[in-house]
């Protein structure tokens, strides 16, 4: 065991029922760090353009980072990656809890799974002892039932889990992987990939510990953060992420009724204060973190919710609440419970239900299609029922389980105009008509619309202290889309991509210098902020290159048409994204990232990032990209 890493990856072949070790040296970890960097490496190396995302040759990768498991606030996370069944491109989701730290403590820096078992199985890891076990009696069970059985099978209630429920088994295209019942690797359909392999879950117990280069420095940083957590984290302990709901509502940036509005009359009924008053029973944390931003809720009938599944984040309140026009916080909590029990992304699920509601209200679908369910905005009971139908792939829910893009193509009649997505992934709960740089981030994101590896412009309207180490010294308005904003967005996004390699929580506000010191204390590397930034840029470039091989290009880097339509009322009345502005910003972003006009990373950029090995892959697929660009009538060439 070295400082920050163990030097070995677990390889699992479910077809042959074999497990092996793969060893890597320090250069590998210093180049890719872990998380999204390792995922990009394996996907580009081992998954071909012909690979079916739900086929046995896809890789499912569990990837902690070099910081994961260090006893300090922030690095309690891991990433999960594969070719996405939702977008057909690069798939990755990041998740908190305790599973990632436990995997590192068991001596493993990641798991790469290929193949498909002929019967349901799960993976049991106790330090060096790894077994593929029968899960036939667990198939069809919820995540809570599954975790209990796996922990009993290991004889250890402290064992940590990464699981799927029935939505993952049925390959809902936005099914997710659930860590420890309350933490979701939510986006891009990683749970569906897990289900396609007949892999019910992973249970792990590790007792080896984590190597630290400077234990005292790590302990001092943990102590300092704990003593200053109230000042550093603001309202995150009191309200968690739901605390942002009301500010977004007042500014006109709260997605409402399938993104037709930016403010919601019922916002006060589903915000952080309402949760605290009505349904919150306690607050919890992730590994080694004193912020305690996680919510645990409980409700009574008619929407009875079991506290074992934790409670909703802001994204869930927005997707099942304002986006569906629902102001019943108990109903939103119930939808969240269904998603965690069945393993389903709350963002995609909520936005898909909202899409169906708008289709219903516009007469594109009817009760004949929905099995008698009147899907109208504001109907809490219909929202909860359709969420359950999607999770079980029942009736009309079976179609909606395909995501808004595929569902709209099947429905027709103008439904495509109501399917709010980028690259096939449903848009999160942040409005690009409020945050213009975020809109660019949605468009160029390798995973489709994503709010995590992105800029949130409102944060940098008044203070840019966190960006000073990158040479960004002037704040910019949220609605600015100048080339200066493109530069700011690029640096912010690459820095967050670093966090996804390390793997660090973005809600723990370590500044760049502190993150550098943390990496030094854990690994012993004489690193710099520049090296960490380059790790993030490398990760983003690997993901981009994977998408290029799959046929994605400039034509796919676009916002949904709805965001170019000005709001008709509210605080942002008359405001919409500007098409020419967005096209100019996209071209500038390509150039700043070292990509050509089609968005393909140049040979020089690959070598500058120490991934020149990927140049051969780029050359092989270039003709295919050009063909697909031509077919789509790309305007960015």
CATH number for 340: 1.10.569.10
Question: How far is 56 from 60, CA to CA, in rounded Å?
Answer: 10
Q: What is the pLDDT of residue 619?
A: 55
| In a shared domain, residues 153 and 292 | no
| 218 within domain boundaries | no
Q: Point out the domain boundary residue: 426, 449, 481.
A: 426
pLDDT tens-digit readout, 253-306: 999 999 999 999 999 999 999 999 999 999 999 999 999 999 999 999 999 999
- In a shared domain, residues 358 and 464: no
Q: Mean pLDDT, to the nearest integer, of 28-46?
A: 98
CA distance linking residue 95 with residue 80, whole number of Å: 8
* CATH code of the domain containing 142: 3.60.9.10
Residue range(s) defining the domain that contains residue 342: 235-426
* Stronger pLDDT, 94 or 627, i.e. the higher one: 94
On the CB side of 310, how many CA atoms lie within 13 Å of its CA? 26
Tens of pLDDT, residue by residue over 396-444, are 999 999 999 999 999 999 999 999 999 999 999 999 999 999 999 999 9
Sequence-ordered list of residues with C-beta below 8 angstroms from that of 6, at least 6 positions apart, any chain? 104, 107, 108, 109
Contact status, residue 288 vs residue 222, Cβ threshold 8 Å: yes
Distance from the Cα of residue 143 to its chain's centroid: 19
Q: Strand 294-297 to strand 280-284: parallel, antiparallel, or no bridges (unpaired)?
A: antiparallel
For every residue of 445-503, DSSP letters joined together read: -TTSS-SSSS--GGGGTT--GGGGGGT--S---TT--SHHHHHHHHHHHHHHHHHHHHT
* HEC profile of 213-253: CCHHHHHHHHHHHHHCHHHHHCCHHHHCHHHHHHHHHHHCC
Q: Is residue 213 part of a domain?
A: no
Give the span between the Cα atoms of 264 and 323, in whole angstroms: 9
- What is the SS3 assignment for 206? coil
Number of domains composing the chain:
3
Instruction: Give the pLDDT band (50/70/90) at residue 634.
Output: very low
Considering the domain boundaries, does residue 495 fall inside one? Answer: yes
**Nearest C-alpha neighbor of 39 from the set 87, 80, 9:** 80
Angle among Cα 563, 568, 573 to the nearest 5 degrees reads 85
In which band, very low, low, confident or very high, does the pLDDT at 10 lie, cut at 50, 70 and 90? very high
For residues 20 and 13, what is the distance between their CA atoms, to the nearest angstrom? 9
Asked whether residue 337 is assigned to any structural domain, the reply reads yes
Average pLDDT over residues 504-533: 96
- Provide DSSP, 130-190: EEEEE-TTTTT--HHHHHHHHHHHHT-TT-EEEE--HHHHTT-TTB-EEETTTEEE-STTH
* Virtual torsion, Cα 201, 445, 428, 44, nearest 10 deg: -10
557-595 pLDDT, tens per residue? Answer: 999 999 999 999 999 999 999 999 999 999 999 999 999
- State whether 296 and 417 are in the same domain: yes
Q: How far is CA 611 from CA 7, 28, 537, 578, 605, in A?
A: 20, 11, 11, 36, 9
221, part of any domain? no
Q: Do 307 and 416 sit in the same domain of this protein? A: yes
Verify that 66 and 113 share a domain, yes or no: yes
Q: Are 305 and 330 in contact (CB under 8 A)?
A: yes
pLDDT at 624: 52
Do 421 and 470 share a structural domain?
no
Does one domain contain both 500 and 548?
yes
Residue 300 falls within a domain, yes or no? yes
Q: What is the average per-residue pLDDT within 594-599? A: 96
The string of DSSP codes covering 494-511 is HHHHHHHHHT--TTS---
Whether residue 441 is found in the same domain as residue 362: no
Do 419 and 454 lie in one domain? The reply is no
Q: Look at residue 626 and tell me whether its pLDDT is greater than 60.
A: no
What pLDDT is recorded for position 21? 97
Q: Quickly state the pLDDT bin for 463 (edges 50, 70, 90).
A: confident
For residue 17, what pLDDT is reported?
Answer: 98
Question: Is residue 622 scored above 70 in pLDDT?
Answer: no
CA distance 359 to 375: 9
- Check residue 322 and give its pLDDT: 98
Positive or negative: CA dihedral 138, 141, 145, 146: positive
Question: Does 185 share its domain with 67?
Answer: yes
pLDDT for 144: 98
Q: Quick one: 292 and 385 in the same domain?
A: yes
The per-residue pLDDT of the chain, averaged, comes to 95
Residue 540 lies in a domain: yes
Residue 389 lies in a domain: yes
One domain, residues 511 and 410: no
> What's the CA angle centered on 466, arms 74 and 495, to 5 degrees?
60
Residues 6+ positions from 580 with CB-CB distance below 8 Å: none
Q: CA-CA distance, 578 to 37, in Å (whole number)?
A: 33
Q: Find the mean pLDDT for residues 224-243.
A: 94
Task: For the chain, give the number of residues.
Answer: 637
Say how far apart CA 441 and CA 439 lie, in whole Å.
5
Dist CA 264 CA 248 (whole Å): 10
- List Cα–Cα distances, 210 to 202, 214, 218, 522, 577, in angstroms: 20, 12, 12, 9, 47
Q: How confident is the model at residue 616 (pLDDT cuts 50, 70, 90)?
A: confident
What CATH number did the domain enclosing 455 receive? 1.10.599.10
Task: Give the pLDDT confidence score for residue 1 in this predicted structure.
Answer: 64
Sequence-separated (6 or more) residues with CB below 8 Å from residue 422? 442, 443, 445, 448, 449, 558, 559, 560
* 138, pLDDT greater than 50: yes
């Amino acid at each position: 065991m070295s400082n920050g890493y163990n030097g070995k990856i677990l390889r699992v072949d479910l077809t042959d029922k074999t497990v092996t070790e793969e060893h890597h040296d320090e250069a590998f970890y210093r180049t890719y760090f872990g998380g999204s960097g390792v995922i990009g490496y394996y996907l580009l190396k081992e998954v071909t353009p012909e690979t079916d995302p739900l086929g046995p040759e896809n890789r499912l990768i569990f990837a902690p980072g070099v910081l994961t498991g260090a006893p300090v606030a922030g690095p309690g996370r891991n990433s999960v990656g594969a070719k996405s069944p939702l977008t057909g491109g690069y798939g990755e989701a990041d998740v908190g809890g305790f599973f990632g730290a436990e995997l590192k403590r068991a001596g493993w820096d990641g798991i790469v799974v290929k193949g498909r078992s002929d019967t349901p199985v799960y993976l049991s890891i106790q330090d060096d002892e790894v077994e593929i076990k029968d899960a036939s009696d667990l198939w069809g069970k919820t995540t809570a039932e599954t975790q209990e059985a796996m922990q009993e099978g290991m004889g250890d209630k402290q064992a940590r889990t990464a699981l799927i429920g029935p939505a993952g088994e049925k390959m809902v295209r936005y099914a997710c992987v659930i860590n420890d019942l309350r933490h979701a690797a939510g986006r891009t359909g990683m749970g569906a990939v897990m289900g396609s392999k007949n892999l019910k879950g992973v249970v792990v117990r590790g007792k080896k510990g984590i190597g630290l280069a400077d234990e005292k420095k790590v302990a001092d940083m943990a102590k300092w953060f704990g003593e200053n957590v109230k000042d550093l984290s603001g309202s995150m302990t009191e309200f968690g992420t739901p605390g942002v709901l009301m500010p977004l509502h007042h500014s006109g940036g709260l997605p409402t009724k399938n993104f037709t509005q930016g403010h919601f009359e019922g916002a006060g009924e589903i915000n952080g204060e309402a949760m605290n008053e009505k349904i919150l029973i306690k607050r919890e944390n992730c590994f080694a973190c004193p912020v305690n931003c996680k919510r645990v809720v409980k409700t009574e009938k008619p929407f009875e919710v079991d506290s074992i599944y934790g409670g909703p984040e802001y994204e869930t309140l927005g997707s099942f609440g304002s986006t569906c026009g629902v102001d019943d916080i108990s109903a939103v909590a119930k939808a969240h419970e269904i998603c965690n029990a069945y393993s389903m992304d709350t963002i995609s699920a909520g936005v898909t239900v909202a899409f169906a509601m708008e289709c219903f209200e516009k007469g594109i679908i009817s009760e004949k299609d929905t099995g008698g369910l009147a899907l109208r905005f504001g109907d809490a009971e219909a929202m909860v029922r359709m969420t359950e139908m999607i999770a079980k792939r029942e009736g009309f829910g079976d179609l909606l389980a395909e995501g808004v893009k595929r569902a709209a193509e099947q429905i027709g009649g103008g439904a495509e105009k109501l399917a709010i997505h980028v690259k096939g992934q449903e848009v999160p709960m942040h409005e690009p008509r409020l945050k213009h740089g975020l809109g660019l981030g949605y468009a160029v994101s390798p995973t489709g619309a994503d709010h995590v590896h992105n800029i949130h412009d409102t944060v940098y309207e008044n203070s840019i202290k966190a960006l000073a180490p990158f040479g960004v010294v002037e704040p910019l308005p949220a609605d600015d889309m100048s080339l200066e904003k493109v530069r700011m967005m690029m640096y912010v996004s690459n820095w967050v991509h670093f966090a996804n390699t390390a793997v660090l929580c973005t809600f723990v506000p370590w500044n760049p210098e502190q993150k550098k010191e943390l990496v030094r204390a854990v690994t012993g590397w004489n690193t710099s902020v520049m090296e960490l930034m380059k790790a993030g840029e490398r990760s983003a470039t690997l993901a981009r290159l994977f998408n290029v091989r799959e046929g994605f290009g400039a034509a796919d880097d676009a916002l949904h048409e709805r965001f170019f339509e000005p709001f008709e009322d509210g605080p942002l009345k008359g405001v919409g994204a500007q098409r020419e502005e967005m096209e100019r910003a996209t071209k500038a972003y390509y150039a700043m990232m070292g990509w050509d006009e089609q968005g393909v990373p140049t040979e020089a950029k690959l070598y500058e990032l120490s991934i020149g090995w990927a140049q051969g892959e780029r050359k092989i697929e270039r003709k295919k990209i050009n063909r697909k660009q031509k077919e789509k009538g790309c305007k960015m060439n």
